[in-house]
Amino acid sequence: MDNIVLEAVSINKYFYDPVKFRVLSDISFKIEHGEFVSVAGKSGCGKSTLLYILSTMDTDYEGELYLHGEALHQKTANDLARIRNEKIGFVFQFHYLIEEFNVLKNVMLPGLKLAKHSRPELESRALNHLKRLDVADQALKMPHQLSGGQKQRVAIARAMINDPLVIMGDEPTGNLDKKNSDLVFAIFRELCQDKKQSLLIVTHDTDFALRTNRTIQMEDGKILS
Amino acid sequence: MPASLSLKIALSLLRARLGQTVVAAAGVTFGIAMFIALVSFMTGLNKLLDGLILNRIPHIRLYQEIKPSPVQPVDLSKKYRRHQNFIRSIKPRDRGREIRNSQLIMRAIQADPQVVDVAPKLVTQVFYTTGTIELGGVMDGIVPAAEENLFRLSDYVITGNLNDLTTVANSIIIGKGIADKMLVEPGDIIQVSTGMGQQALLKVVGIVQFGIAEIDNIQSYTALSTAQKIQGKPPAYITDIQVKLKDITQAPAIGLEYAKLFRLEAMDLQKANTQFETGSNIRSIISYAVGVTLLIVAGFGIYNILNMLIYEKMDAIAILKATGFSGRDVRFIFISLSLIIGIAGGILGLGLGYVLSVIINHIPFQIESLPTIQTYPVNFNPLYYFIGISFALITTYIAGFFPARKASKVDPVVIIRGK
């Protein structure tokens, strides 16, 4: 039990517009600590929908969800926000860096919100992450001055700043060319191997999925394997 | 979440749209500045105009009214007590206009802790005679020092000195209108005759001008003792007791009390001058309405700009929420954004409003009837600055509240999926 980071128990989700439609049916799985899991499937199979439920941003579902043994399906929106801040890191297809802040501040932002570490400490942590991802020299630039691959690496650094239990990715390589995709994958694998970081990545890139520890195949809202 | 972080985020968002922010803040600045300048100027003018009239009127005036006796002889008759008595064409009883026991009454009023000062007056209908011309008028016998305390009479004495009434025997200060008509100057002698036929020669020691032609054409002042002497009355003979109160709003109540106590008629300032109160109230309402309208318009400006900002920064809001900022945090960010605009614009507005008031206060405004006024009057009351800034903060808070609520309800899933 202690080794399980994320557990989903028979999750069901419906869309009501324009007609009632079952997007996810009886999704149950577990992710163990330090696992690198990918969720693969064709476009429209519900894998992103699943990720948003797992990420606690979408609360309109049936079923149970546990993060490190903590039940998430009954929490209030404010509690969930705090849990997201502290325990979950995100990388999206689009980088979502805030244009008004420089790279370093963008990385520090979730940490400043958590306020667990002092500002100088956060700064050095953020710089360490950026160094590990090989973008430390961009730290004081504004996001629009960076290339797409660099932005995505900054987004990964931001996801790592609070040492989350799990990092979730929604097509993190979807907007990147082959070279940058490989780079991002390498970073994820390194995180998994070196820091025992649990990762849950949604992708339609079979090549990417095959290289992870475990792949959850989805089709029509169901888990195939 | 540390508030400083929210403020920092708010400031960064503002910096991203510096142009619009400045415009929004300028709206608030302009609104407050105009509100302050307008209200200060209006109330300044009100005070001046009201002062023209009200300074001349005691808070309470006690006098003996000429009226029919309330108890007629037939009412005393036992025989007709149970009858309904109709009496026509009653003539007022001649009790004279003298206030009996005036010295005691004045001492009693003076001892009242609610009273600032009390002044006696002897009002006499007179004719000012020069050559063959006779001008009707009113001559008040006064105690100059007391009159000065109550009405600052010396402000209106344009030539001569009020105190000369006591130092120079048989002296008179006449209204500007009379002086102009009779072509007299201080030092000249004029003849005054009362309605009862007494006559006296009085030396003009000053000219008084209130700026109201109707009064300047009839009014003159002499020492109380001179007035009594002309009419052949004893030194206690007066017709009016004028009272100045510490709290002017108490005038009707205290007036009523005195009237009952001393069996006199009491006229309080509010009763005598309802129309002035109404006039100044309406002027205040208009200036408040204009100022408040300006601020509300500024509020709409802020509302628009924040709404646009939210649409533009949807991504930033989504990622803030995805990384753990709660709806409350986001709302706080946008409300502080609005309040930053409000406070910055408001403080500048206070400054600009003060500057405008000072400028207005230096514009020359000289009219013959107002000898003490050199420039436009402005009322520098800190209260208006307080009202201005409070209203600015309330408006900007409300203007920020709705966009902020909208931002707090942004669903990050919808935004992130959309990409």
Chain-wide mean pLDDT for chain B? 84
Last residue of a domain, one of B226, B242, B269: B269
For residue B86, being part of any structural domain is answered with no
Taking CA atoms, B138 is separated from B8, B60, B90, B268, in Å, by 73, 20, 28, 21
Cα–Cα nearest to A99, from B408, B119, B16, B81: B16
Helix (H) or strand (E) run with residue B28 in it? helix B18-54
Return d(Cα B413, Cα B297) in angstroms, integer.
35
Taking 90 as the threshold, does the pLDDT of residue B359 lie above it?
A: yes
The tens-digit pLDDT sequence of chain A (225 residues) is 468 888 888 888 888 878 888 888 888 888 888 888 888 888 778 888 888 888 888 888 888 888 888 888 888 888 888 888 888 888 888 878 888 888 888 888 888 888 888 888 888 888 888 888 888 888 888 888 888 888 888 888 888 888 888 888 888 888 788 888 888 888 888 888 888 888 888 888 888 888 888 888 888 888 877
Tell me which residue has tokens 């006779």.
Answer: B134
Taking CA atoms, B323 is separated from A38, A191, B110, B330, B409, in Å, by 21, 20, 76, 12, 15
Query: DSSP code of A157?
Result: H
Domain identity same for B316 and B224:
no
Q: Which of B14, B323, B326, B331 to mutate to test the interface with A (most CBs of A within 10 A)?
A: B323
- Give how far B392 is from chain A: nearest CA, Å: 28
At A29 the pLDDT is: 85
Domain identity same for B33 and B69:
no
Size of interface A-B (CB pairs under 8 A): 80
Interchain proximity B326–A94, CB inside 8 Å: no
Last residue of a domain, one of B226, B252, B269: B269
Taking 80 as the threshold, does the pLDDT of residue B136 lie above it?
A: yes
Q: Which residue of B has its CA nearest to A105?
A: B9
**B400: confidence class by pLDDT, cuts 50, 70, 90:** confident
CB proximity list for B144: less than 8 A, separation 6 or greater: B153, B162, B163, B165, B166, B221, B223
Q: Which tokens belong to B184? A: 């007299």
Interchain proximity A78–B15, CB inside 8 Å: no
Taking 60 as the threshold, does the pLDDT of residue B1 lie above it?
A: no
Partnered with residue A199 across adjacent β-strands are A36, A167
Q: Which residue of A has its CA nearest to B8?
A: A101
Cα–Cα nearest to B348, from B38, B44, B27: B27
| DSSP-assigned letters across all residues of A26-76 | EEEEEEETT-EEEEEE-TTSSHHHHHHHHTTS----EEEEEETTEE-TT--
Cβ(A27)–Cβ(A39) below 8 Å: no
- Give how far B335 is from chain A: nearest CA, Å: 18
Taking CA atoms, A119 is separated from A112, A126, A129, A133, A169, in Å, by 7, 10, 15, 21, 27
Tell me which residue has tokens 């025989």.
Answer: B79
In tens, the pLDDT along B145-168 reads: 888 888 888 888 888 888 888 898
What's the average model confidence in pLDDT over B58-67? 85
- Give how far A54 is from chain B: nearest CA, Å: 12
Return d(Cα B255, Cα B269) in angstroms, integer.
9
Q: Which residue of B has its CA nearest to A93?
A: B419
Taking 90 as the threshold, does the pLDDT of residue B172 lie above it?
A: yes
For residue B353, being part of any structural domain is answered with yes
At B409 the pLDDT is: 83
**B119: confidence class by pLDDT, cuts 50, 70, 90:** very high
Cβ(B127)–Cβ(B167) below 8 Å: no
Taking 70 as the threshold, does the pLDDT of residue B418 lie above it?
A: no
Strands, E, within B131-249: which ranges?
133-142, 157-160, 171-175, 189-194, 199-208, 219-223, 240-245
At B171 the pLDDT is: 92
Residues of A with CB below 8 A from B329's CB?
81, 113
Split into its structural domains, chain B has a count of: 2
Domain identity same for B20 and B67:
no
Cis peptide before B73 (omega within 30 of 0): no
Taking 80 as the threshold, does the pLDDT of residue B56 lie above it?
A: no
In tens, the pLDDT along B312-351 reads: 888 888 888 888 888 888 888 888 888 888 889 889 999 9
At B173 the pLDDT is: 93
Cα–Cα nearest to A96, from A109, A86, A113, A114: A109
- Give how far A192 is from chain B: nearest CA, Å: 21
CA dihedral A123, A79, A155, B308 (to 10 degrees): -100
Residues of A with CB below 8 A from B18's CB?
none
Domain identity same for B100 and B219:
yes
Q: Which amino acid is at A80?
A: L
Q: What percent of chain B has pLDDT over 90?
A: 13
Domain identity same for B129 and B212:
yes
In tens, the pLDDT along B82-93 reads: 888 888 888 776
Please tell me the CATH code under which domain A34-59+81-223 is placed.
3.40.50.300
Taking 60 as the threshold, does the pLDDT of residue B419 lie above it?
A: no
Helix boundaries (H) for chain A: 47-54, 77-87, 103-114, 119-132, 148-160, 178-195, 206-210
Report the residue from B1, B323, B417 with minimal CB separation from A84.
B323
Return d(Cα B217, Cα B174) in angstroms, integer.
9
For residue B87, being part of any structural domain is answered with no
CA dihedral B384, B389, B392, B393 (to 10 degrees): -140
Cβ(B158)–Cβ(B371) below 8 Å: yes
Cβ(A206)–Cβ(A40) below 8 Å: yes
Q: Which residue of A has its CA nearest to B323?
A: A85
Domain identity same for B64 and B177:
yes
Q: What percent of chain B has pLDDT over 70?
A: 95
What's the average model confidence in pLDDT over B69-73? 78
For residue B85, being part of any structural domain is answered with no
Domain identity same for B332 and B410:
yes
Residues of A with CB below 8 A from B413's CB?
52, 57-58
Q: Which residue of A has its CA nearest to B15?
A: A100
Residues of B with CB below 8 A from A114's CB?
324
CA dihedral B228, B233, B239, B241 (to 10 degrees): 70
Domain identity same for B313 and B221:
no
For residue B192, being part of any structural domain is answered with yes
Cβ(B271)–Cβ(B248) below 8 Å: no
SS3 B62: strand
Report the residue from B326, B413, B417 with minimal CB separation from A81.
B326
**Which chain A residues have any C-beta within 8 angstroms of a chain B C-beta?**
48, 52, 55, 57-58, 77-78, 81-86, 90, 92-94, 96-101, 109-110, 112-115, 158, 170
Q: Which of A75, A92, A151 to mutate to test the interface with B (most CBs of B within 10 A)?
A: A92
For residue B90, being part of any structural domain is answered with no
Q: Which residue of A has its CA nearest to B318?
A: A96
Report the residue from B12, B326, B419 with minimal CB separation from A77.
B326
Domain identity same for B245 and B215:
yes
For residue B44, being part of any structural domain is answered with yes
Domain identity same for B309 and B172:
no
**B369: confidence class by pLDDT, cuts 50, 70, 90:** low
Cβ(B266)–Cβ(B256) below 8 Å: yes
- Regarding predicted confidence, which is higher, A58 or B56? A58
Return d(Cα B408, Cα B129) in angstroms, integer.
85
Report the residue from A58, A93, A109 with minimal CB separation from B413.
A58
**B45: confidence class by pLDDT, cuts 50, 70, 90:** confident
Domain of B160, in residue numbers = 60-80+95-269
Interchain proximity B322–A84, CB inside 8 Å: yes
Helix boundaries (H) for B93-171: 102-111, 144-151, 164-167
Domain identity same for B218 and B309:
no
Choose from A73-77, A122-126, B203-207, B363-367 the range with maximum mean pLDDT. Answer: B203-207
Last residue of a domain, one of B246, B269, B292: B269
Interchain proximity A109–B326, CB inside 8 Å: no
In tens, the pLDDT along A177-223 reads: 888 888 888 888 888 888 888 888 888 888 888 888 888 888 888 88
Return d(Cα A181, Cα A152) in angstroms, integer.
10
**Which chain B residues have any C-beta within 8 angstroms of a chain A C-beta?**
1-2, 5, 12-13, 15-16, 315-316, 318-329, 411-413, 416-417, 419
Domain identity same for B101 and B167:
yes
Taking CA atoms, B18 is separated from A125, B298, B303, B403, in Å, by 32, 17, 16, 18
Please provide residue B137's backbone torsions phi and psi, each rounded to the nearest 5 degrees.
-170, -175
Report the residue from B2, B13, B322 with minimal CB separation from A100.
B13
Taking 70 as the threshold, does the pLDDT of residue B276 lie above it?
A: no
Interchain proximity A99–B316, CB inside 8 Å: yes
In tens, the pLDDT along B100-111 reads: 888 889 899 988
What's the average model confidence in pLDDT over B271-282? 73
Cβ(A138)–Cβ(A151) below 8 Å: no
SS3 B191: strand
Return d(Cα B298, Cα B290) in angstroms, integer.
12
- Regarding predicted confidence, which is higher, B28 or B417? B28
| DSSP-assigned letters across all residues of B292-350 | HHHHHHHHHHHHHHHHHHHHHTHHHHHHHHHTT--HHHHHHHHHHHHHHHHHHHHHHHH
Q: Which of B326, B330, B337, B409 to mutate to test the interface with A (most CBs of A within 10 A)?
A: B326
B/e letters for A126-149, b = 16+ CB within 10 Å, e = fewer, are: bbebbebbebbebbeebbeebeeb
Q: Which tokens belong to B85? A: 């008595």
For residue B145, being part of any structural domain is answered with yes
